C-alpha cells in the first residue's frame, strides 16, 4: 500500500470559490444591513454563471448572513437590536467552549502566532482592523479542533459582520482599544490561566457589541 506522492488537484468547485469570496466580503463589512443583492449581479461580478452563486447563497442563507424576502429577492438582514443581543449571548456561550478546548491543546508556537497577528501594523486607512480581529479569534479557536461548534461560531460572526458595516463610519469616534483584551488573553494563555482567559475573552466580546448595543 503506497502513499500518494502528489496532492490532489482541487478541481473547479466554483461554488466554494463563490462562497469564499462572499464570506470574505461579509467579514469585511462590505454589505450593509437592509441592502438587497441579486443573483445575477453577483454572478456577473464573480464571472461565473448563476448556478454556483445560487448554491453559495443558499449556504449563506442557512448561516443567517442573507435572508429570503417574501418577494423572492435576497437581502442582508436589517439591523435588529434583539438579534444583536442574541448574537452576543450565543457568542459568549459558544466561544467560551471553544476557548476551553483550545487551551487543552494550544502550544507555544500558536501563541507566538497570535502575538504576531495583533502586532501587525494597523491599517493606515483608518478602517478598523476587522480582519485582524477575525484572524486573532479564529486562529485561537481553531486550536480546539472543533468540527461542530466552530462552524456555528463562524455563522455567528457572519451575521455580525454585516452590522459592522454600520459601525465603520463612527469607529474613529468610538476609539475602542480592541487589542487590550487580546493582549490579556495572550498573557493568560501563556500562564495557562483559564479563569483569566475566559474573563478577558468575555470582555472582548462585550466590547465588540458596545457600539451596536450602547445600553448594555
Partner DNA sequence: TTGCGTGTGATCTGTGATATTTTATACCAT
Partner DNA sequence: ATGGTATAAAATATCACAGATCACACGCAA
Among the listed ranges 66-74, 140-148, 154-162, 169-177, the one in contact with DNA (CB under 7 A) is: 66-74
Told to check if 54 binds its own copies by CB under 8 A, we report yes
- Give the CA count within 13 Å in the CB-facing half-sphere of 170: 8
Least distance from C-beta 39 to its own copies, angstroms? Answer: 12
In the list 133, 143, 159, 198, the residue contacting its own copies (rule: CB under 8 A) is 159
Helix (H, G, I), strand (E, B) or coil at 69: coil
Cell numbers placing 18: 463563490
Distance CA 46, CA 4 (A): 34
What are residue 75's DSSP bridge partners?
36, 67
Specify the stretch interacting with its own copies by CB under 8 A; choose among 112-120, 128-136, 151-159, 197-205: 151-159
Q: What is the largest CA-CA distance in the chain?
A: 63
* Stretch of 51-59, 91-99, 106-114, 160-168 lying at the interface with DNA (CB under 7 A): 51-59
Binding site for DNA (CB under 7 A): 11-15, 37-41, 48-52, 54-55, 68, 70-74
Amino acid at each position: 500500500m503506497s502513499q500518494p506522492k502528489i496532492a490532489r488537484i482541487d478541481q473547479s468547485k466554483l461554488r466554494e470559490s463563490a462562497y469564499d469570496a462572499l464570506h470574505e466580503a461579509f467579514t469585511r463589512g462590505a454589505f450593509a444591513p437592509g441592502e438587497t443583492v441579486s443573483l445575477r449581479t453577483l454572478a456577473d461580478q464573480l464571472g461565473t454563471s448563476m448556478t454556483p452563486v445560487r448554491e453559495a447563497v443558499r449556504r449563506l442563507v442557512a448561516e443567517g448572513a442573507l435572508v429570503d424576502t417574501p418577494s423572492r429577492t435576497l437581502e442582508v438582514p436589517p439591523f435588529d437590536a434583539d438579534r444583536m443581543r442574541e448574537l452576543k449571548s450565543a457568542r459568549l456561550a459558544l466561544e467560551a467552549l471553544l476557548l476551553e478546548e483550545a487551551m487543552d491543546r494550544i502550544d507555544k508556537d500558536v501563541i507566538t502566532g497570535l502575538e504576531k497577528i495583533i502586532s501587525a501594523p494597523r491599517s493606515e486607512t483608518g478602517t478598523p482592523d476587522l480582519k485582524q480581529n477575525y484572524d486573532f479569534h479564529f486562529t485561537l479557536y481553531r486550536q480546539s479542533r472543533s468540527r461542530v461548534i466552530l462552524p456555528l461560531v463562524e455563522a455567528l460572526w457572519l451575521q455580525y459582520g454585516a452590522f459592522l458595516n454600520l459601525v465603520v463610519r463612527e469607529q474613529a469616534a468610538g476609539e475602542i482599544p480592541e487589542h487590550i483584551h487580546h493582549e490579556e488573553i495572550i498573557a493568560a494563555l501563556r500562564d495557562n490561566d483559564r479563569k483569566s482567559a475566559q474573563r478577558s475573552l468575555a470582555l472582548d466580546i462585550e466590547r465588540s457589541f458596545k457600539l451596536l448595543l450602547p445600553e448594555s
